Structure 1
Amino acid sequence: MNFLAGKTVLLTGATGGIGAEVARKLSAAGARLILTGRSATKLKVLQHQLAVEPLMYCCDLTSTAEQQDLLQFCQQHGGIDVLINNAGISQFGLCQQQQFNDLISINLLVPMQLCQLFLPVLRQRKGQIVNVGSAFGSIGHPGFTGYCATKFGLRGFTEALQRELAGSDIQVKYFAPRATETSINSSDVVQLNQQLGNSMDSPVWVAEELIKQLKSNELRRFLGWPERIFVRLNGVFPALVDMALKSKLTVIELFAEGKNH
């Protein structure tokens, strides 16, 4: 039996690299999709690539008024069974170069607000929430101070909400990819990963892993090797990860300051 057939899934950040692949796989599985993004043009292009025609909702999710409009739109179309908080941005640079407001708003505040907003709807449908985090939500990494802070926050929020709703029919899940081959990574980040020997996963594979978690009872899924080991190691022996990253700091600073060209 196909768990996803006939389920209504609200997917944010649908036109991004991971989001578009998740949309394709959900559509192929027979899910009914409500897709959000900021670009009506990109949403229209994606719409024509899917097996089942989705509902599209172009909006700026940092606006609480537009969040309310999205909730009303979903209710008008019968509610949702699954909320996937996938929208996100990244910044690479030294701390003094970072712009924290957008990172916090999009990566952390928006998914928190959408979870809060859609909880009554999901209670009615015994639904699921999947918050898309990152390996950097467990490992503080030089050059990504703002991004790490937001993903650490999202992981903590998800864990707390999981435990708060443990006696309910709602499942709350945390999904943590490592570096993925999408446009969220600047050319400097791609070159840095190549220089350090860090692997990057294809968005197709990452989407497959998210779908597997969605179909399972697994509350946490971390992708990548050795990243999964680093996540565990950082939780128990952070000083070891300190030393490992310190040995790479000169290279990271070079790329973060744009002096690698």
Structure 2
Amino acid sequence: MAKTIARNNYQATLTGATGGIGQAIAQSLAPQCRSLILLGRDLPKLQALQASLSHSGAEIKILAGDLTQEQTLSELKALVQSMGGIDLLINNAGTSQFKSFTEQTSSELEGLLKTNLVAPMLLTQALVPELMKAKEAQIINIGSIFGYIGFPGFASYCASKFGLRGFSQSLRRELADTSIRVKYFAPRATKTSINSDAVMQMNVELKTESDTPAWVANEFMKFLESSAWEKKLGGKESFFVFMNQLFPSVPDKAILGQLPIIKKYLKR
């Protein structure tokens, strides 16, 4: 069992704070923080979230911006420095698209990869020097079970999450002799607006289990305080990942059986 690490004075930065999982994590995390920076694209939602956390005991700052833009990266780094540092970076910002790969436009593909992979890499690169100043620090990249399993209709999304997992593992090993621990958190299907109506309906027909953001946030907090470097949500999904790694023909066959249903929803 992973060792538990108790903390209640994080200096944290959370991206993607206005999404379903992001808001739930912010609500759970804020009482454990001395300071918390929330970044998202929707200023009114950020302001509402900041107001809801006003009694958490943490100093809450917000920044509205797009992390694929260099100006936002610079503004966020300056805000971190003005807050006296950082010891917890949570790369949660992300997007998804359920679409046949051959029908994705180049701008859709590039935009998804920039948001899900390139932006968190560049932000991490910008903030590692600040994280190095802390006695102990963590970088937690929020990926997906689809960072282990390629699934039809999500080719670009899976590629971005496979990449984020590879980045997390590589950087974890690169920084193993420093005060920074790099971790990867992989939710399964979650009931948030990132999923289109077609995806939600498909999940019901495929009998895919979906979690609430609050439950995911609770699992995230357990992971935050553990020494484990990786966490996958869902027992069945974790077993599927295991089979995909050792006996890929088994999930190949299972997904092939689901393909007619998947393609039905891809046409919607």
What is the TM-score of this pair, normalised by structure 1? Answer: 0.96
Query: 1:103 — aligned with what?
Result: 112
1:58 equivalent in alignment to 2:64:
yes
- CA distance in 2 between partners of 1:29 and 1:207 (Å): 13
**How many equivalent residue pairs?**
258
1:24-35 correspondence to structure 2 within 5 Å = 24-35=27-38
1:244 equivalent in alignment to 2:250:
no
For residues 58-98 of structure 1, what are the alpha-carbon distances to aligned partners after superposition, in whole Å with 9 as ceiling and x for unaligned? 11110122201210111011011100000000000111222
For residues 28-76 of structure 1, what are the alpha-carbon distances to aligned partners after superposition, in whole Å with 9 as ceiling and x for unaligned? 3344210001111110111111124511111111012220121011101
Query: 1:151 — aligned with what?
Result: 161
1:18-167 correspondence to structure 2 within 5 Å = 18-50=21-53, 51-52=56-57, 54-98=60-104, 99-125=108-134, 126-167=136-177
Q: Secondary structure at the match of 1:34?
A: strand
Which deviates the most, 96-105 or 85-94?
96-105
Query: 2:14 — aligned with what?
Result: 11
Identity of aligned residues (%): 45
- CA distance in 2 between partners of 1:128 and 1:72 (Å): 19
Paired residue for 1:177, among 178, 184, 187? 187
Give 1:3 deviation, angstroms: 3.6
Q: Is the 8 A contact 1:15 1:37 kept in 2?
A: yes
- CA distance in 1 between partners of 2:182 and 2:118 (Å): 17
Give 1:2 deviation, angstroms: 8.7
For residues 7-44 of structure 1, what are the alpha-carbon distances to aligned partners after superposition, in whole Å with 9 as ceiling and x for unaligned? 11100000100000100001133442100011111101
Q: Secondary structure at the match of 2:227?
A: coil
Paired residue for 1:206, among 216, 226, 244? 216
CA RMSD of aligned residues (A): 1.4
Paired residue for 2:238, among 199, 217, 228? 228
- CA distance in 2 between partners of 1:224 and 1:160 (Å): 25
- CA distance in 2 between partners of 1:31 and 1:20 (Å): 18
Amino acid at match of 1:83: L
Q: Is the 8 A contact 1:2 1:29 kept in 2?
A: no
Give 1:224 deviation, angstroms: 0.9
Moved over 4 A (4+): none
Q: Is the 8 A contact 1:4 1:31 kept in 2?
A: no
Paired residue for 1:193, among 203, 221, 230? 203
